[in-house]
Structure 1
Amino acid sequence: MTSDPTPYSAFQQFERERFSLIAQDYDQAIAATTSQVNDALLDAIKVKSGVKLLDVACGTGWLSAAAIKRQAIVTGLDYAENMVAIARERCPQGRFYQGDALNLPFDANEFEAIVCNLGILHFPEPERAIAESFRVLKSGGYYAFTCWTPPTRNPFMALILGAVQNYGNMNVDLPQGPPLFRFGEATECYHVLSKAGFNQVFINELSINWTFSQAQDVMPTVVVSTARLGPLLAMQTQEQQRNIERAIIEGASRYSTDNGVEIPASVVLAVGSKP
């Protein structure tokens, strides 16, 4: 399929380059953390032995590996070259491609299940990505995506973004992208899936815990392993960075446990079936 120009082309290129740059750190921090919802995701789209699954924005392959463990037939796709390379190493039984979720290089009705774990917020045109997944999904198949809930229901995001809002500058020079928490509400998820043609739409909320050895590890980990939060923090002045880090350490310390620091977060899970 041919891609049309979008108002977020700079955003898309930034995401591709950034994710390739941080692929290893992302794998060890973000992907490991978000894998906590993998089983719930795979259950939601009824993945079992023999199911042909497409993992859109597969990242470094944690979700694909969980599906392969269930003996699914897995294909993964990601925009970032180094992400795909790690996914191939992790899942030699799967097929992995570097490609664009807005223009999937697959035939119509090719897959029985499609999943996108925390990728939807990184697409310049989420509706177009969802429409592409609808196209390559077989009738009767299931599609699911997840997205971070907003800071009001997400202590981890509240901690990071709250520190920047209070002690730094949210308006740094980053390419404009879609709203980060657009799909953090059930009504928006239901609307976009229904409009794309899905039925049996189901929305749920899943818990995630971010774990760190100590509160001082939070900000450095975020800086090196995230696509947009990291640059947002790194582009503050030195004084702002010191104040932000102090606030993050103080806030994270409130979540100290015998096993380190455990900061709760949550994601919205949106599921639909193709008629």
Structure 2
Amino acid sequence: MTDDPTIAYDLFKQFERDKFSLVAQKYDQAIAAVTSQVNEAILDAVGAKCGLRLLDVACGTGWLSAAALKREAIVTGLDYAENMVAIARVRSPQASFHNGDAENLPFESGQFKAVVCNLGILHFPKPERAIAESFRVLKPGGRYAFTCWTPPTCNPFMALILGSVQTYGSMDLDLPPGPPLFRFGERGECERVLIAEGFTEVSVTELPMKWTFSTPEDVMAKVVVSTARLGTILAMQTLEQRRNIENAIIDGASNYATDSGVEIPASIMLAVGYKP
């Protein structure tokens, strides 16, 4: 696939690396706790078990790696953001973690029986290259699984956050242009790309999850400090725009209030392929 001229590849990659290193601790406490809800489904999809050599690409702060270790897999993790890797190493000293690039994996071909990537694919400026690299380092007979957020049309949390920004704020900001956020939230696109990179027995499943908060007022505050691009978009609004966005998010989140707090539904696509 030729490069997309609308994407600032190097600038976007550096932005993601710097921002995720900056928010690593808050990310670990908020986003990683939410996305870990699908860890077992991902590990089931690749047959993670005792003795299986598994690579966790875009491992973040290591929640998925830790879940794989509980199954007694032999785990290697990789992430582009240094502070993410530092937290992962503390969480799971039994695993081997590397600071590196998903689009240029520092591993020999055919080294792993499984490769997983939980919500990392949307952060790669060249996702096909990252998928090709995962294919390369897999052993024949190995499995690859990645996840991505579904679009706002079927994802209430994303609809609330992005809808509030689009209605009351501005998306015309001085940020490095990146790939489409929800490209792989479409079943057909997941299938097409995996097959194009050589995978067979491709399956795509939608998985539910929930974002939980103590109060509606907590939603925007946690998103701003624990995400890279979305948090930056919110932080770059004017004071009036931020106030209006926050009020809209609070009002919307109030619709999901329960006796124990706020529970906002969301979902991801889980895409799985087999290397013949």
Q: Distance in 2 between matches of 1:108 and 1:163?
A: 45
Mapped to 1, the partners of 2:228 and 2:45 lie a distance apart of 27
In the alignment, structure 1 residue 253 sits paired with structure 2 residue 245: no
> How high is the sequence identity, in percent, across the aligned residues?
72
TM-score, normalised via structure 2 length: 0.97
Equivalent position of 1:189 in the other structure: 190
- The separation in 2 between residues aligned to 1:264 and 1:26, in whole angstroms, is 19
The separation in 2 between residues aligned to 1:87 and 1:263, in whole angstroms, is 27
Taking the aligned partners of 1:66 and 1:205, their CA distance within structure 2 comes to 20
Shift of 1:196: 0.2
TM-score by length of 1: 0.97
1:17-68 Cα shifts (integer Å, max 9, x gaps): 0000000000000001000000000000110111000000000000000000
Answering whether residue 200 of structure 2 is matched by residue 199 of structure 1, we say: yes
Task: Give the letter aligned to residue 161 of structure 1.
Answer: L
Q: 1:217-242: per-residue Cα shift (whole Å, max 9, x none)?
A: 00010000001110010000000000
Quick one: distance in 1 between partners of 2:70 and 2:261? 30
Paired with 1:161 and 1:171, the residues of 2 have a C-alpha distance of 13
Q: Deviations over 1:88-139 (max 9, x none)?
A: 0000110000000010000000000000000000001000000000000000
Is the aligned partner of 1:42 residue 2:43?
A: yes
Alignment of 1:146-157 (within 5 A): 146-157=147-158
Partner of 2:239: 238
Counterpart-to-counterpart distance in 1, 2:97 and 2:258? 39
Residue of structure 1 equivalent to 2:127: 126
Any stretches of 5+ residues in structure 2 without a counterpart?
A: 1-6
Q: Is the 8 A contact 2:8 2:176 kept in 1?
A: no
Matched letter for residue 249 of structure 2: I
Runs of 4+ in 1 over 6 A off after TM superposition: none
Aligned to 1:72: 73
Structure 2 residue identity aligned to 1:32 = A
Please say if 1:81 is aligned against 2:68.
no
Question: How far has the Cα of 1:85 moved from its partner?
Answer: 0.3
Q: Does 1:25 align with 2:41?
A: no
Letter in 2 for 1:55: D
- Separation of aligned partners in 1, 2:162 and 2:240: 17
Q: Give the unaligned 5+ runs of structure 1.
A: 1-5
Q: In 1, distance between residues paired with 2:55 and 2:213? A: 31
Q: Distance in 1 between matches of 2:77 and 2:106?
A: 11
Q: RMSD across aligned C-alpha pairs, in angstroms?
A: 0.7
CA drift of 1:253 comes to 0.3
2: distance between equivalents of 1:7 and 1:238?
28
- 1:56 is aligned with what amino acid? V
Query: What is the deviation of 1:7?
Result: 4.0
Residue in structure 2 matched with residue 116 of structure 1 by the alignment: 117
- For residues 252 and 215 of structure 1, the distance between their equivalents in structure 2, rounded to whole angstroms, comes to 5
Q: Which amino acid is the alignment partner of residue 271 of structure 1?
A: V
* Aligned position for 1:96: 97
Q: Paired residue for 2:15?
A: 14
3-state SS of paired residue (1:188):
helix
Equivalents in 2 of 1:45, 1:172: separation in Å? 39
8 Å contact 2:153–2:159 — kept in the other structure? yes
For residues 220 and 229 of structure 1, what CA distance do their matches in structure 2 show?
A: 12
